């Protein structure tokens, strides 16, 4: 680290559990954030501020006036522009030392398979069930840690799936892809703005713990937030042997 970096990140370096070693790991890391909306906005800003060296933002949407109530990475002047370009401009202004890669595309299976293997961690900040399962399947296949968040109305949830551990559950263990699921969106149901801010900031915190190797992540736990009553509930989760993505039969088949 040079003198400017030592000063910029000094408040991290002063924390015993982080220090120069973990801060250097942040600088060397590559985080992929799928979704530059309500969750991805605070997550990206905290990762950039913390000095994560390379951040890839993936989103195919443009900034809409209705986004500005919660998607804090976008400014009013960005309405009508690509979300990833708007977010890159904000992140570059926040921390010019971070390499922000803007990908104006949907994170389909082919893109994920080509890019996830080079990441230190993936943050799922998407807003649909199919994308969540595609991200999960790719992270399982390549052993890349996944931080998954979701929020709607006053409800939020977050967990970390660390596939560097042999006994880690995956997203599909908790939300099986073959079960009926009603897709709902904040465009029809609404969302309390600070709820996505809380969950997105926590996703950044989880990603930094994964990268830095300090503290205890949410691996094996699902945290659920009711921000109307400001109550948290935590549920333990475990790998399911019959999981179609990471279960024993699937892993044995992959090994063959």
Q: Which residues are catalytic?
A: 186
Q: Identify the three-state secondary structure at position 97.
A: coil
- 79 - beta bridge partners? none
Could you tell me which residues come within 8 angstroms of residue 94 by beta carbon, excluding any fewer than 6 positions away? 45, 48, 49
Q: How far apart are CA 10 and CA 23, in angstroms?
A: 9
Q: What is the spatial distance between Cα 61 and Cα 134, in angstroms, rounded to a whole number?
A: 19
Q: Which of 45, 192, 206 is CA-nearest to residue 121?
A: 206
| Sign of the torsion angle spanned by Cα atoms 66, 67, 70, 76 | negative
Q: Which of 160, 115, 123, 159 is nearest to 141 (CA)?
A: 115
CA distances from 149 to 128, 152, 237 (A): 11, 11, 15
The whole-angstrom separation of Cα 29 and Cα 87 is 19
Contact of 214 with 22, CB cutoff 8 Å? yes
């Amino acid at each position: 680290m040079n003198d400017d970096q030592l000063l910029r990140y000094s408040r991290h370096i002063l924390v015993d559990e982080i220090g120069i070693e973990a801060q250097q790991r942040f600088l060397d890391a590559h985080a992929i954030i799928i979704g530059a909306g309500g969750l991805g906005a605070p997550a990206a800003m905290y990762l950039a501020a913390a000095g994560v060296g390379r951040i890839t933002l993936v989103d195919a949407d443009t900034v809409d006036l209705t986004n500005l109530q919660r998607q804090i990475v976008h400014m009013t002047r960005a309405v009508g522009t690509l979300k990833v370009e708007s977010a890159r401009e904000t992140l570059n202004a926040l921390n010019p030392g971070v390499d922000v890669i803007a990908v104006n595309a949907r994170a389909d299976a082919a893109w994920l398979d080509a890019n996830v293997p080079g990441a230190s961690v993936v943050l799922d900040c998407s807003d649909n069930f199919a994308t969540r399962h595609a991200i999960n399947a790719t992270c399982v296949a390549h052993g890349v840690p996944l931080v998954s968040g979701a929020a709607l109305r006053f409800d939020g949830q977050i967990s970390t799936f660390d596939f560097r551990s042999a006994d880690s559950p995956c997203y599909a263990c908790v939300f099986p892809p073959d079960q009926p699921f009603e897709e709902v969106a904040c465009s029809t149901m609404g969302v309390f703005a600070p709820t996505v801010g809380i969950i997105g900031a926590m996703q950044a915190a989880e990603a930094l713990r994964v990268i830095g190797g300090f503290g205890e992540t949410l691996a094996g736990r699902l945290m659920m937030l009711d921000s109307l009553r400001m109550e948290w509930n935590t549920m333990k989760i475990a790998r399911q042997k019959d999981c179609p993505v990471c279960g024993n039969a699937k892993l044995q088949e992959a090994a063959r």
